[in-house]
Amino acid sequence: MPYDASPLRYDSTKYHRVGHSGLKLPAISLGLWNNFGDDRPRATQRAILRRAFDLGITHFDLANNYGPEIGAAERNFGEIFADDFVPYRDEMIVSTKAGYTMGEGPYQDFGSRKYLISSLDASLDRMGLEYVDIYYHHRPDPETPIEETMGALATAVNSGKALYVGVSNYNPEQTLAAQEALAEYGIPLTIHQPRYNMFDRHIEDGLFPVLDQIGAGSIVFSPLAQGLLTDRYMDGTIPEGSRASEGRWLQPGPLSDTYLQRVRALNEIAQNRGQSLAQLALTWVLRHPQVTSALVGASSVAQLENNFAALEGAPLSDDELGAIEPLAVDGTALR
């Protein structure tokens, strides 16, 4: 059936300004990392994308290597975009990244000008787009000068193939260096995409002050710690089909008592608020003014809707934050 977006799509979504820029992102954005490869049904992918947009989730986050196989998520998104979303392109924020291995040889990895420019062209071709709204360098390159890497991002903007640029997985010092290199071209570092959740808090003391200093926003990935901050493992077992059972991102084995004690106590706090644990985890990361948006993945429409409902929750009180603090321990793992 032809897709007509809901006329109510902007009625309940919250939008936040990205740092000092003119760009706004929805508080919840959809990441296409792990659920839009060739191993997932196209009908499910289409349903998730349609429902996301109907909810007012206007931002879709990709990378050149998302799959499986590498490039598949961009290609699948592009095919669905061509069928459903062309009339809404001006209402959408589409981002992609380059920096991880894409192929054989020395020109398909890290941060050279050669790689970043050619990768963007390939990404645009896979998605059938003339430009992306945000283009990220996906990870620091220890060998390529930051001036070259940021110069490639500047070229992407000046060529009209990207509107804004950002970095991902950069530490505070690298972020400052990236901002200074971009400033030579008169282009701001608009956004940073770091990992952040209750069990991975490394950005609080170092990166947040840097983002304030340079006027950049952030969109955090893994806000649910790849499922650790959901009810999936709360009974002490590993369900079939979970990431821990697949062994790709979480390694199989017995669950630790420390993890179970913390996640069960967090779940009790969530229930007292009328939230799921996942919703509490999203409310918690979004409490920071430096966090513009939280990236969520979704393997089903129901999962997307559950995560999106976090926006209906009340702000965390001081007492609730105090109860969460001894449980939100950096370094907490499944085992």
Domains present along the chain, CATH in parentheses: 15-226+284-317 (3.20.20.100)
Spatial distance between the Cα atoms of 90 and 92, rounded to a whole number of angstroms:
6
pLDDT at 238: 75
Q: Residue 211 corresponds to which amino acid?
A: L
Spatial distance between the Cα atoms of 256 and 233, rounded to a whole number of angstroms:
11
25: helix, strand or coil: strand
pLDDT at 203: 97
Tell me if the bond preceding 145 is cis, omega within 30° of 0. Answer: no
pLDDT at 254: 80
Q: Using the Cα atoms of residue 142, residue 145, residue 150 and residue 155 in order, give the sign of their dihedral.
A: negative
Closest to 213 (Cα-Cα) out of 17, 19, 16: 19
Q: What is the CA 78 to chain-centroid distance, rounded?
A: 18
The model's pTM: 0.94
* Number of C-beta neighbours around residue 143 at 10 A: 7
Spatial distance between the Cα atoms of 227 and 278, rounded to a whole number of angstroms:
8
- Encode pLDDT of 4-61 as tens digits: 999 999 998 999 999 999 999 999 999 999 999 999 999 999 999 999 999 999 999 9
Closest to 219 (Cα-Cα) out of 21, 37, 9: 21
- Encode pLDDT of 134-170 as tens digits: 999 999 999 999 999 999 999 999 999 999 999 999 9
129: helix, strand or coil: coil
129 in the Ramachandran plot: left (φ > 0), alpha (ψ -120 to 50) or beta? beta
Q: What is the pLDDT along the chain (335 residues), one digit of tens a residue?
A: 899 999 999 998 999 999 999 999 999 999 999 999 999 999 999 999 999 999 999 999 999 999 999 999 999 999 999 999 999 999 999 999 999 999 999 999 999 999 999 999 999 999 999 999 999 999 999 999 999 999 999 999 999 999 999 999 999 999 999 999 999 999 999 999 999 999 999 999 899 999 999 999 999 999 999 999 999 999 988 766 555 545 554 565 688 999 999 999 999 999 999 999 999 999 999 999 999 999 999 999 999 999 999 999 999 999 999 999 999 999 999 88
Q: Residue 258 corresponds to which amino acid?
A: T
Closest to 189 (Cα-Cα) out of 161, 157, 230, 220: 157
Closest to 165 (Cα-Cα) out of 153, 147, 173: 153
pLDDT at 146: 98
